[in-house]
Amino acid sequence: MKRFEGFRDGPVRWVSLPEPFFSELLPAIDDLAELKLTLYVMWALSRQEGEPRYLLRADLTADPNLRETLVGDGRDIGKVLEHALERALARGVLLRGRQAEGGAEAIFLNTARGRAAAEGLERGDWQPDEDRGAARPVHLERPNVFAMYEENIGALTPVMADILRDAEKAYPAAWIEEAMHLAVEGNARSWRYIAAILERWKTEGRGGQEPGAEKGGRRYVEGELKDFIEH
């Protein structure tokens, strides 16, 4: 079991849950997959903007976060998801709606707004956007550079915090994250080494590659940046 290191400092998005979830639902739910799916749907819908708020079945099967949550052991996502969804629907926590036979199935939370949206869908007042592409997918927040530094490199002193703020102004956040990962891979956990990678990318370019295209911290440790490693 991987140990949780604790909630990081700084801005963190909080998710509110209705009190009946703890007083009525939590004692009654006896299936782990159902519980995980219920919490996931509440979380996913809380991150959407505007109305109606809904998820398509395709959203559920395609999200890697939910896949890892439900079938981290390699089981078939379709079977586990169907089992969890049917239990949540039978319990009345979630609702499903479809405009017409063969139409896309939308999943709602059983709230006043969710019930109204489901009823409106059944009447044909609106229809789900099946071609929305990347408009609604849910993604976990990425840690900021300060959290990444503390987790991967070392203690965050006031001086180091100022250095990181300057780095955020000079380089894309994805570059800083990738440089830290390379430092970890190469067992060269020092800001001096990370800064050298960033400066090299800035002056020499990355050949049109996105951060992540060049892999292998050992390349830098054993190559042109070896003198920047603090022994």
pLDDT at 191: 92
Q: Put the strands of the sheet holding 55-56 in their side by side order.
A: 55-56, 105-109, 94-98
Q: For residue 29, what are the contacts with CB-CB under 8 A and spacing of at least 6?
A: 35, 38, 91
Residues of the chain with pLDDT below 50 are 133-135, 137, 207-231
pLDDT at 78: 85
Three-class SS state of 164: helix
pLDDT at 70: 87
pLDDT at 177: 86
Rounded to whole angstroms, the Cα distance separating 10 from 5 reads 15
Q: What is the pTM of this model?
A: 0.59
Rounded to whole angstroms, the Cα distance separating 97 from 100 reads 9
In the chain, domain spans: 19-123, 145-228
Q: For residue 91, what are the contacts with CB-CB under 8 A and spacing of at least 6?
A: 25, 28, 29, 34
**What number does CATH give the domain 19-123?**
1.10.10
